[in-house]
Chain A
Amino acid sequence: MSNQTFLRFFKRQSKNISQFWRQFSRNKLAVASLILVLIFALIAIFADVLYSYDFVTSNSLENALLKPGETGTVYFQEKDIEHTFILGSDNYGRDILGRLVHGARISMIIGFVTVAMAVVIGGILGAIAGYKGGLFDTIIMRLTDIILSIPTILMSIAIVAALGNSFFNLLIAISTSLIPGYIRIVRASIISIKDQEYVEAARVIGAGDFRIVLKHIIPNITSPIIVQSTLNVGSSILSASWLSFLGLGILPPKPEWGNMLSEAREFIQYAPHLLFAPGIAILLTVLAYNIIGDGLRDALDPKLRR
């Protein structure tokens, strides 16, 4: 009998998914962005296959500032290799495309981890504020106000300066700026759902608080959270970029799009490709996530459905 139930469950979920896809795919731009993001993700996952990490972090000064498409000889792992620098090389002779590829991996990790942390922490705080109300609500909302009143740049700099310049602290700094958004979304959703009749109905049939939150409230708040998260991945990558541009967070020789931009500053005049490569990568990624976020919002909005 349980086989049948699973079968029915899958059938039902696939019906939901196909309906969602039908809505989402109406937005051609969003679909294109999704494909772009998936390609970037694949590149990030298979970064090591494409370019070895050591290769993109070792200097090869004789090949410095090569134009895109030029070849050079690189002495790597005790061998001389003929290597085509598809996007050229930077001032240390490192392959720009290779650094972009590995930077993509770092950006993706930053994007997803910071958002995940913010969702969990912000979600729990927002749930407590919305569901319990009263003093909890007041304290949590004032905390949120405090965080929001500090400019993100300053706050991130302060956190990284105080805690030290490590990858983990970078993640903390970025996700802290995202947390207030989630607290508000979750709190607002819970407040609007809390007094719905079906929550009352759940109480009448004997459901306890835990069950109500799990089965009735959470399914209804996933849409705004998903949308917000997609947008936040983009902004998170951007935050990491300018933090490392400013010299905090990921420092060279670790490849990160932001610090690549920073290093490219000196060479704008005669080697602009150093700037364009990471700049366009950041632009495309953040834009793609934003467009996907918008597309998701439209697709998940029940009012725009049917």
Chain B
Amino acid sequence: MDKILEIKELHVHYYSNRRTVRAVNNLSLDMQRGRVLGLVGETGAGKTTLALSILNMISAPQGKIISGSIRFDNADILGMSNQELREMRGKDIAMIFQDPMTALNPVLTIGEQIAETIFKHEKVSKAEAWSKAEEMLETVGIPGVRAREYPHQFSGGMKQRVVIALSLACNPRLLLADEPTTALDVTIQAQVLDLMRGLIKTNNTSVLFITHSLGLVVENCDEVATMYAGEVVEYGTVKQVFGNPLHPYTKGLLGSLPDYSEGSPRLRPIPGLMPDPTNLPKGCYFSPRCPNVMPQCHELHPENSSIEVHLVKCHQYQENLHVEQSI
């Protein structure tokens, strides 16, 4: 298996108002090349922080990558110089941000914005960059002549397509898509994702698809990782995780969806709220809300257990657990 991204034991903190926000806690995650990995979690789980960390874009002094390693295609991202990072961003790793309304510069034409990134990363002339930009627009279903227009002249769905074109312009090996369609209408979302699927297949792009929608994960991803309070609590192929969800949080998420409650009048939400990242509970972070909680859940933080590729961080699945074996 060819790994394009290897994240090991990543810790990322933010500092605000004299308190430390533990946004990412001992997170380890691997991505296979050419696959789409869905990263699912609710607000505050740390998904965007993780994406920014991969690009080493956590801004000091508010935030800091405390420890851990991120290897992209065997290159150590956290050890790169600013120059190397600048060359890598946009070219090898690209990111689609959540809100298409603010991701585009309102005073530049969309053609200029796409051409700029091509010109910066590839050894072509400005004229060649412009025509490549027009080509990219065509691939996302926007007539090339519209490259001269400004972002405000496009609708939300079209702007997001421009953002997609922008991100794929230099044919990156890894695409970080942070809630790429959340701000769009559901029929436009279907169009845009259909388009994206085609493009990433053609270019064999690896994608980290960040979303809070489990439905989108099933339809667009090969593997999925569930994130809670800054760590990955379950990971596997979509078939494994959705066919047999193991972690109580994953199960709770699925169970709270209207689609899963057909017939019964009431929904089954997960009781309680996500923990305060400045004051995480001892032991397993999900323990205060877990229906299957056991005494050791409050004391000991669970390790990864694996059933083939399907990994889960939960005491229920840890065999031969001895209290002395704590790390």
A305 to B19, CA, bound (A): 13
> Within the assembled complex, what's the spacing in Å between the Cα atoms of A164 and B16?
56
Task: For residue A192, give the distance in angstroms from its CB to the closest CB of chain B.
Answer: 18
Chain A neighbourhood of B17, CB < 8 A: 305-306
Enumerate chain B residues within 8 angstroms of A305, measured Cβ to Cβ: 17
Number of B residues, CB within 8 Å of A: 2
Nearest neighbor of A306 in chain B, beta-carbon distance:
B17
Q: Report B152 CB to chain A, min CB distance, Å.
A: 20
Cα separation A66 to B20 with both chains bound (whole Å):
61
Residues of A within 8 A of B16 (CB): 306
Specify the chain B residue showing the minimal Cβ separation from A23.
B17
Q: Which residue of A lies closest to B19 (CB)?
A: A306
Once the chains are docked, how many angstroms separate the CA of A306 from the CA of B20? 11
CB-based nearest A residue for B17: A306
Please, which residues of chain B bring their CB within 8 A of the CB of A306?
16-17
Contact with A along B11-28 (1 / 0, CB 8 A): 000001100000000000
Interface size on A, residues (CB 8 A): 2
* B63 → A minimal CB distance (Å): 14
In the complex the two chains form, what is the Cα distance from A5 to B17 in whole Å?
A: 30
Q: Which of A251-306 contact B (CB under 8 A)?
A: 305-306
Complex Cα–Cα for A305 and B16 (A)? 9
Q: Which of B85-103 contact A (CB under 8 A)?
A: none
A306 to B16, CA, bound (A): 6
Return B21 CB to nearest CB of chain A, in Å. Answer: 10
Q: How far is the CB of A34 from chain B (nearest CB, A)?
A: 22
Shortest CB distance A26–B (Å): 11
- Output the nearest chain B residue to A19 by Cβ-Cβ distance: B17
Nearest Cβ on chain A to B59's Cβ, whole angstroms: 15
Nearest neighbor of A305 in chain B, beta-carbon distance: B17
The smallest beta-carbon distance between A300 and chain B, in angstroms, is 16
Instruction: Fill in one digit per residue for A10-23: 1 if any B CB lies within 8 Å of its CB, else 0.
Output: 00000000000000
In the complex, A305 Cα to B17 Cα: how many Å? 8
Contact bitstring B261-305, A, C-beta under 8 A = 1, else 0: 000000000000000000000000000000000000000000000
CB distance from B278 to the nearest CB of A (A): 11
- Interchain nearest-CB distance for A19 vs B (Å): 10
Report the nearest A residue to B18, measured CB to CB.
A22
Q: State which residues 85-131 of A face B: CB under 8 Å.
A: none
Chain A nearest CB from B125 CB (Å) reads 42
Q: Which of B7-46 contact A (CB under 8 A)?
A: 16-17
- A306 to B21 alpha-carbon distance, docked (Å): 11
Determine the distance from Cα of A55 to Cα of B157 in the docked complex, in whole angstroms.
78
Q: How far is the CB of B318 from chain A (nearest CB, A)?
A: 38
Q: Smallest Cβ distance from B279 to chain A, in angstroms? A: 15
* Whole-angstrom distance between the Cβ of B225 and the nearest chain A Cβ: 30
Instruction: List B290-325 residues whose CB lies under 8 Å from chain A.
Output: none
CB distance from A290 to the nearest CB of B (A): 27
A306 to B17, CA, bound (A): 5
Q: Which A residues between 22 and 45 are near B, CB-CB below 8 angstroms? A: none
**A302–chain B nearest beta-carbon distance, Å:** 12
Q: How far is the CB of B19 from chain A (nearest CB, A)?
A: 9
* Chain A, residue nearest B16 (CB): A306
How many angstroms between the C-alpha atoms of A306 and B278 in the bound complex?
13
Interface residues of A in 140-199 (CB under 8 A from B): none
CB distance from A104 to the nearest CB of B (A): 38
* Whole-angstrom distance between the Cβ of B91 and the nearest chain A Cβ: 33
Nearest Cβ distance between residue A51 and chain B, in whole angstroms?
47
3 contacts between A and B (CB under 8 A): A305-B17, A306-B16, A306-B17
**A interface list, Cβ under 8 A from B:** 305-306
